[in-house]
Chains A and B, each alone.
Chain A
Amino acid sequence: MSIPITIPVTARPTITANIFAGPYNTTTANRYDFTADASSPQTVLTMVQNTVYLIERACFSLDVPEGDFQRAIDSAISVPRIYFRTTKTNQLIFPRPQPFINYVDNLELMKFVPCDQKDDQLQVSFECILFQTPALVGITSLNAYLQLNIYEIQATDWVKYWNSPKNAQGKDLNLRGY
């Protein structure tokens, strides 16, 4: 299912890529641990002031077969999850971390992220600790891949309405088209 929403035709699509490494037996004994990446978030993109970004889709996978990844999840410790935040406000973009218990291709997110500060950055961190299952014996490090489709919306009127919808008392607020 997709959510019908229209953004300006001038919105610029950006595809981002982040790779997280989970070495074996390094951060945590006998586990693949991505914690080092979680404690030092990666930059997804540097945002432009007075611009609204739409995180539209996400793709997620590891460099091992999906079943091997799922069998390696230790739900008693943590479900693999991703956090988005901006550096200036240091607030989570989504109210809760995004859990990933399988590989996803074109997962629809549809989250608007306004940027009203200079030199702000969208950052992502990945928390994940995995068991070593039979299929993973011999693999010294796992990589997780996150790809996002993000639209950068700089259309002046659209962004103005986004930032101050009350100015138009609602009736002129038109986020469905421009």
Chain B
Amino acid sequence: MPTQEGITNWLVSADGITFTVDTALDEVAIALAGTPDLELNGATKYINEGENCIVEGFALTFPYQFGQGTLSPLRFQIGWRDSGGNNGAVTELGDTGRINIPDPNYWYDTFTYVPYPATAAAKWHFEITGIIGRVSMFNCPAGLDEEELDIRAHLKIRTTTGLIA
């Protein structure tokens, strides 16, 4: 492998992946609103039109000390979307973008080459298109009851040129 000079970016979802604490239950479901973008520095950042990338790894992080419930494993689906609205699944990752996560709050390496999608026509970015899982309420502090909390999805990508707005 030649020396890599490219740019590594850590992307993260801002919101849209949530759960609502309910201390009366053993566990609650994770809810997904829309298709949250994976952002950088508080805004959606695009990969240049036509450019390929390597997805180096991913993670899903729960807030505080929450852990996953009995429905295991967690699973989320990654898709792509270009600035013109074209979108689709990232077929190079897992089962058409669906990836099981054995354990939240842990980093998983993939080093998967994701070429510029064949049906894209403009600069493009990643988004979360699906998620399934449960959050355990075990030992949950009563003070958090009925709070809506965010779960973050993370993706580390390597590109040759920098991301653009």
Contacts and interface: CB of A to CB of B under 8 A. Distances in A.
Q: Do A and B bind each other?
A: yes
Interface of A: 24-25, 29-30, 63-65, 68, 132, 134-140
19 contacts: A25-B48, A25-B161, A29-B49, A30-B52, A30-B116, A65-B2, A134-B52, A134-B113, A137-B4, A137-B53, A137-B113, A137-B158, A137-B160, A138-B4, A138-B159, A138-B160, A139-B2, A139-B6, A140-B6
A136 B116 CA distance: 14
Interface SS of A by simple majority: loop
Nearest to B6: A138
Given A25-B48, A30-B48, A30-B51, A135 B160 contact: no
A139 B5 CA distance: 5
A7 B50 CA distance: 52
A24 B160 contact: yes
Listed from nearest, the 10 A-B pairs whose CB atoms lie closest are A138-B6, A30-B50, A134-B113, A138-B4, A64-B2, A137-B54, A140-B5, A25-B161, A30-B51, A24-B160
Contact of A139 (B48, B50, B51, B160): B160
B52 A137 contact: yes
B160 to A, nearest CB: 5
Contacts of A136: 2, 160
A68 B113 CA distance: 14
A63 B2 contact: yes
B1 interface: yes
Contacts of B6: 137-140
Nearest to B1: A135
B51 A25 contact: yes
Given A25-B160, A25-B161, A134 B54 contact: yes
A132 B51 contact: yes
Interface string B85-115: 0000000000000000000000000000100
Given A30-B50, A63-B2, A137-B158, 13 more contacts: A24-B161, A25-B51, A29-B48, A30-B116, A132-B52, A134-B52, A135-B1, A136-B2, A138-B5, A138-B7, A138-B54, A138-B159, A139-B4
B30 to A, nearest CB: 32
Interface in B16-64: 48-54
Contacts of A30: 48-52, 116
A132 to B, nearest CB: 6
Contacts of A25: 48, 51, 160-161
A2 B6 CA distance: 43
A68 B1 CA distance: 9
